[in-house]
Structure formats: structure tokens, C-alpha cells
Structure 1
Amino acid sequence: MRETSYHVREVYRGPIAIVGPTASGKTRLALDLMELLPHYEAVSVDSMTIYKEFSVGTAKPTETELAGHPYHLISVVSVVEEFSLAEFITLVQKMKEEIERRFKTALYVGGTSLYLRAVVDGLTPQPTYSGLRLWLETVSLHLGQGVLYQILKTVDPKAASKILSTNDRRVIRALEVSLGSGMHKSIYGEVFSNPDGAGGVLQFGVKVSREVLYKRIEERIHLQLEQGWIDEVAAVIESDKVISRTAAQAIGYKELAAYLRGELDYDEAVELTVRRTKNLAKRQLAWLRRDSRILWIETLDEVLERLDGTQ
């Protein structure tokens, strides 16, 4: 356990979220906090640690690191399964209720933006229309993604202005919601969320300079490779499992699979993984910094001091 010079005079018992970009140290901070405040149980708010087969590459906490601390919603589904925001909301609500029945409190840990919003703001998931989505995917395949983007600009120009024309997945999703529900995707979240928060979740953001963060990302990826990330990817390939669309978004797995197939050399695969991870961290930071409710901290002592002042 990391030492602290701060002593909490009174025990805070409200729900907490530890947020931040990838490789910022969220998990370590959460584990240290649970060591001092054992009435908390961690709940992962991460769209990739949910997959059973993705462990090394998603930096899941090891059994040694957990040391008996409850850490929920990791290794829940197989990579062959699609996993949606709606399914996450169902699971996280069920887990919250289970934790409260034990007279404990949820400690949310992660950086997946929509998952965090669901936890903090009570976001209601946008509907899915699988038949319509399949048709849109077929149109994109045969006519090109640019056609769907032009349709989106007509149907929901606000949504289109926030999506790259080359991001086929997001363009299709926006059209699926807009055409299927008759309501613009760009306003759907505003209508079906609770702006006052879903349960008074106190958010702590792990503050790290960009220079330090990028260095951590590079070091972590090389450590993950030493720990057997390539073997993990190879095991998925050899299993002949058809990876779901959502699981396929995991950074590094596609790049290392391409290396194993001889489509990229090792250095190219690693460089591309590092670059994509840094871009993810940049996007995560931009999103988090728009939320003025987040209390940015650098140390465990700062968290404890804030909790003490929140009594």
C-alpha cells in the first residue's frame, strides 16, 4: 500500500469516480484508496477490460494487485460478443445495488466517456435498430462511407459536424438513432439524461502532464509486450473466434494481429499502438476537461483531504 501522511477524520461514504486518461494511474489510486477506506468496492468503467480474453493489453489489475479488494465488471463477456452502452448500464446498476446490499459503496474507475456519463449523469442509452444498422452497413459497403455522411448532414447536421466523415462506425450509429427513433442523435442524450446527476458521484481526475503521460504510455506498452501481450493476441487468433465489432476497437490488438499475420513488422506494430494510445489519451483528456465537476488531483493525500472537507 502506498503510504500517506493524511488521516481522514471522518469517513466519507458517498459514491466516488476515479477518472483520467489511459495510463494516468487510476487503478493504482483506486486500490490505495480501498486499502484505507475498505467500505468501497471498485467498479470498472472501461469498455475493453469487460472482455475476458483481453487482459495484458487492457492493463487489468492482477490478482496480486487486487489483494482481495473487490473489483467488479472486468472479464465479464467474451470477445465474440457485442457489448453496448445499454448492457453496461444494466450491469452497473445491478452491481451498484449488490454493493449497497453489503452496506458498501461503489468506487467507479475508468475513462470510457459514455460509461462515465451513464454513471455520473444517469444517461439513458440511445435505442438500437439492428435491422436498420445492417442495411446502413450494406449501403456503406457498396456505395462508400461518403454517401452516408452526406445523408447525415441532411438529417442531423449538428451530429455530422461532430463526426469525421471517415468515421464510418459513428456515422452509421448517428443515422441509426436518427432514422430509427425519429429524433436527432445530437439531442437524444440531452433529452434522456439527468443533468443534476444520477447519485451525487464525486469525481476525482488524475492530473498528469502530457509529457509524463506520453512517457508512461510508451513504458506501459513495452512492459505489456514483455508480459506476453503478443501471446494473448495469438491465443485469440488461434481460437478461431470471430471478434465482435465492439471488441475489435481495442487498441493494440489489431496492430499486433497484423504483425502476427506478416502485414506489419514488429516496430511498425508497436509504433502504431503507441501512437493510437496517445491519441486516445488526448481525446479522453479533452472530454474530461469539459466537465467542471471533476476535482483534479495528483496524490492520494489530495483525495483524502478533499473527502475530509466534503463531510
Structure 2
Amino acid sequence: MTAAAPVVAVVGATATGKSDLAVELALALGGEVVNADSMQLYRGMDVGTAKVTDAERRGVPHHLLDVWPVDRAAAVAEYQGMARDRFDALAAAGAVPVLVGGSGLYVRAALDDLRFPGTDPEVRARWQGEADRLGPGPLHERLREVDPAAAAAILPSNTRRVVRALEVVELTGRPFSASMPAAGAEARVVPAVVVGLRRDRSDVDRRIEARVDRMWRDGLVEEVRGLLDQGLETGPTASRAVGYAQVLDLLRDRFTEAEARERTVAATRRLVRRQESWFGADPTVTWFDAAEADLPVRVLGHVRATLGG
């Protein structure tokens, strides 16, 4: 990272208003937005990820959206390189990078000293075969035996990450969790001012329900149908995204449409709880109440004071 100016990062849970605030900050600071939402990296996943529209961007350039096809696995290490290259390019052009997203691992990959162990296709294929044969539960229990910290951080249903963790343990002889230093200033390698948005739990729940209603109105089901020809159903990451997984089950006749919507709301609430836990453990985040009327002014004042002007 060679940028002279720090990155300004806006983090927090889904449905707190991060994207709007990032645009406000970019307009005020002469900045451009860099995406740190893992699912917004996928092309064509617009409605279900609440990807910012051209109108909502208000002329602010947005980077690292629509990078990957839906049939490929996410690659955090690749994202790390892309994000840091973008920071350098923006700083060299005199623009402030405004990083925004609720994917905690991606935010940390962009800003912190995270190093990603290599991979071995044979080892990974063997663990994936075990997952296919036994199901996610036994594999997650195996991870709990060899790396309790990683097991606590990874949902049993997230087979891809469970397989990756077991692969790393086998290849390195060390816990998967050991590759991620604790969050804090000592882990930071990219200078950054990090602000977080919080909302009252009942307010967030209401916003989630409204968000899911809007997704359905805006054509999420049709969007998913259109992505089937692009490999969404077999995509190891995109097919598990909240909203997309539930609509895929709807299209497979596993749920009614009402059930798919209810399950999307419930899955989004679970995601929000995990995001709150992840970002809440980072002592470098300065938190703001997203419901305050003067939020952009207060956050901008904090950012400018931290940057020394």
C-alpha cells in the first residue's frame, strides 16, 4: 500500500444505511467508493444484494462491483490484492478511497495484515468429498476437534469455509484461526479511519422486512431465474447468498413463495447478528447511531478531525 492518504471505511450490519453514508462522505471528501460486500462482487446479483443504482451513486465512481461470474468461488486473497491496488490508484489520482461493506473478512483483508495460506487441490477435493458423503454436520464437528476457534466462527452450513479450514489445518499443521490476527491497530497495515453504523434492534428488524419486500417487488425471483443460465445454481458461493438460496429453493418447489420470503427475512436477521458480533469485536471502529438526523455531518466531522483537517 503506497497511498499517502488513509482509507475511510464505513462498516456495520446489513440494513443500517452504509451505502448512502459512503456516497455522502465521498462527495464531501473528493473520494470514490470501493466495495467490500462479498456478494456485490458478483455480476448480475443486483436486486438481492441491494447493489447501489446509478441514481443512488450520485455521480460518485464505485469500484469492485460486478467483478466475478456467479459460477465461481469467492477468493478473499484475490479481493485483497484488487482492493489494495484500487486504494493506491485512487490515492495517486488525489481521490480518497471510501471502503464500504458488511463482509467483515473482506474489510479486514483490505485493511489488515491477513495472509492467506496456499491450497492443494487434492486435499481440498478429499475434504469436499467427505462433505458430500457425510453432510456438513460431521465435518463441522471434525473442525471443532482440531480448531475450536474456527468452528465457533464458521456456521456448520457453510460447507465451503469448513472444507477450507480443514484443508489449511492439514497443510500447515496449525489452526485455520491462527492465520487471522486479532482485530486491532496492531493488525492494521493500511492506514484507515473506520466508522461503524448501528441501529436499534427493532429498527433493524423493520428495515430487514421492508428490504425483503422491496427485493421481491423489484424482481428478485426473476433475477434468480435469469442467473440460472449463468451457473448460479452450481456456484459454490453465490448460490448460498441470502435471498438467492431461498429463491433457488422456491424454484425447486421446496418452499412456497411466502415461505421463501419468511426464510429470507430470518436468514438476513441471522446475518445481521453475525455482522454485529464481528464488527463489535474490532476496537478500531468508531460507532455512530445511523438513525440520527445529522449523521453525515457528525461522521464527516469525526473523519476530518481524525485526518487532521
Structure 2 CA distance, aligned partners of 1:288 and 1:229? 28
Contact 1:126 1:189 in 2 (8 A): no
Alpha-carbon distance change, 194 to 89 in structure 1, aligned in 2, over 3 angstroms: farther
Aligned residues with identical type, % of pairs: 33
Structure 2 residue runs of 5 or longer lacking an equivalent are 290-294
Whole-angstrom CA distance in 1 between matches of 2:74 and 2:157 = 23
> What amino acid is aligned across from residue 278 of structure 1 in structure 2?
R
Q: Is it true that 1:24 corresponds to 2:16 in the alignment?
A: yes
Displacement of 1:243 after TM fit? 3.5
Equivalent residues of 2:43, 2:66 under 8 A apart: yes
TM-score of the pair, normalised by structure 1: 0.88
Q: State the AA in 1 paired with 2:13.
A: P
**Post-superposition offset of 1:149:** 4.0
Give, as a single letter, the amino acid of the residue that structure 2 aligns with 1:175.
L
Residue 69 of structure 1: aligned partner: 60
One-letter amino acid matched to 1:80: D
Hey, what does 1:119 align to over in structure 2?
A: 110
Partner of 2:83: 92
Aligned residues: 298
Give, in whole Å, the separation in 2 of the partners of 1:161 and 1:281. 17
Query: Which residue of structure 1 lines up, in the alignment, with residue 305 of structure 2?
Result: 309
> How do 1:270-309 and structure 2 match up within 5 A?
270-298=261-289, 299-309=295-305
The Cα of 1:188 is off from its aligned counterpart by 2.0
What are the residue-to-residue correspondences of 1:142-161 with 2, within 5 Å? 142-161=133-152
- Structure 2 counterpart of 1:177, from 168, 192, 213: 168
Rg comparison, structure with higher value: 1
State the Cα distance separating 1:126 from its structure 2 match: 3.1
Quote the Cα distance in structure 1 between the aligned partners of 2:38 and 2:154: 20
More helix by share: 2
- Mark the CA change 1:68 to 1:96 in structure 2 (over 3 Å): closer, same or farther: same
Aligned-pair CA distance for 1:240 = 5.6
Q: Secondary structure at the match of 1:206?
A: strand
Deviations 1:236-266 (A, max 9, x none): 1255655421112211112112223322111
Aligned equivalents of 1:22, 1:78: Cα separation in 2? 23
Moved more, 258-267 or 53-62: 258-267
Matched to 1:302, the amino acid is: R
Provide structure 1 residue ranges, at least 5 long, that are not aligned to the other structure.
1-11
Aligned pairs for 1:8-23 (under 5 A) are 14-23=6-15
Shift, 1:218, TM fit: 0.7
